[in-house]
Structure 1
């Protein structure tokens, strides 16, 4: 028996469209993407707008996410102790590497960057915080996925693989082999897979029970990361181990 309310499910689907779409969309575009009638989409929009989840641009009549979602997101972050707990470790990693440091957590079959501290360099890579990615798509995401069981990994890869650059991994088996290497090494190093010219180093964060639902990563331009790769790997993995130990994990 399906316990999902179809109207709530469709409202959720509508909101999630804005995670990886233009800032604003009209009824016709939303109808096409959701494969629902314009009338049904209009009713969803009116309901969501009434509670501030969606807002309409009075000039072009298109819709975007509302401020209620921002309030809820901030509430989640305030209640998420890992964000506050890990911030000093992120700061320390940036001081050592002078590159962007991020905290990434798993949310079901996706990964979300929940905190970051930018590089002080004038030329630097930027991560859009609170952005949702598939668990195979970034170095931090793969550092989490590598420590899930085979059935979970198969589920993540079952709907196909989205590519981001000409260098992106395209085959599920290739990703599985890469995940084995991450488990063996204890970290992930990637270059040009998500963004051309950018390298990332990530390591898993273990909970007290030994599970992995978060990772820390350092990201920067290829030329700067390549010359200090070994040192950066050591610093990222050491930071992840420190956080894990403070969370109660014992190898």
Structure 2
């Protein structure tokens, strides 16, 4: 900690207060929350304001975040590569579940597996990377569709061509709609035998800073291995997507 500048750290602490606080905050309240004198807080605010990180409302004399932070945030998002960002999480989830883990993203009207880490088991289920498929067709894809606008869902499902991959495949659009409501209500999807006999997928959404879902993670494996440890795999999957969403700036 010898390399840490206390003034910079206090500035960072001050900025982070706005993540879970009202839009505008006064010096007195900031002083209490930071446990610093009003004079010290005012100096921090003046410095941050001079660089555009903080701005003061001339009418209320209270402070809010400045536009420089918006510029920096936009730059981060532009430079952000979801695959590079996700790989440590995918690897960790595989190490904890010992099953295939895939990262699925929405691309226009389709879903794509953009990254995967295979199961270490000799007998395992696997998928093809960068494969494009309908948003209603797999566990990870349905999670993405469940969090889209109702109009978009209707549009996608109107064009759906249901195929009987297994005896458990969807036979009606209404049953897909019902499942989408369940997925969004509980925050995850567990599906067996829909597309491949003897295969179970457990998937959950990743939220970005704006609260949108454009990616999901799914753990997939033989049902006779996945179902007995379903609760543990679900717990690990939810913990992973929650951590990823938080790092992307999502706040519940």
The TM-score normalised by the length of structure 1 is: 0.67
Q: State yes or no: 1:190 paired with 2:177.
A: no
Partner of 2:116: 116
Question: CA RMSD for the aligned pairs?
Answer: 1.1
**Over residues 66-113 of structure 1, what are the superposed CA-to-partner deviations in whole Å (9 max), with x where a residue is unaligned?**
xxxxxxxxxxxxx86000000000000000000000000001111000
Mapped to 2, the partners of 1:106 and 1:159 lie a distance apart of 17
Partner of 1:85: 85
Q: State yes or no: 1:170 paired with 2:171.
A: yes
**Over residues 40-77 of structure 1, what are the superposed CA-to-partner deviations in whole Å (9 max), with x where a residue is unaligned?**
xxxxxxxxxxxxxxxxxxxxxxxxxxxxxxxxxxxxxx
Mapped to 2, the partners of 1:110 and 1:165 lie a distance apart of 22
Q: Secondary structure at the match of 1:228?
A: helix
Partner of 1:139: 139
Mapped to 2, the partners of 1:245 and 1:194 lie a distance apart of 32
Contact persistence 1:161–1:171 (CA under 8 A): no
- Gaps in structure 1 of 5+ consecutive residues: 1-78
Partner of 1:51: none
Mapped to 2, the partners of 1:179 and 1:98 lie a distance apart of 27
The TM-score normalised by the length of structure 2 is: 0.67
Shift in alpha-carbon separation, 1:83–1:117, aligned structure 2, 3 A: same
Count matched residues.
173
Mapped to 1, the partners of 2:162 and 2:249 lie a distance apart of 36
Mapped to 2, the partners of 1:162 and 1:176 lie a distance apart of 13
Contact persistence 2:188–2:202 (CA under 8 A): yes
Mapped to 1, the partners of 2:133 and 2:156 lie a distance apart of 11
Partner of 1:47: none
Residue 168 of structure 1 deviates from its aligned partner by: 0.9
Mapped to 2, the partners of 1:247 and 1:160 lie a distance apart of 32
- Gaps in structure 2 of 5+ consecutive residues: 1-78
Mapped to 1, the partners of 2:155 and 2:95 lie a distance apart of 38
Residue 159 of structure 1 deviates from its aligned partner by: 1.3
Partner of 2:128: 128
Runs (4+) of structure 1 exceeding 6 A deviation are none
Deviates more, 1:104-113 or 1:162-171: 162-171
Residue 166 of structure 1 deviates from its aligned partner by: 2.2
Rg larger in 1 or in 2? 2
Residue 149 of structure 1 deviates from its aligned partner by: 1.1
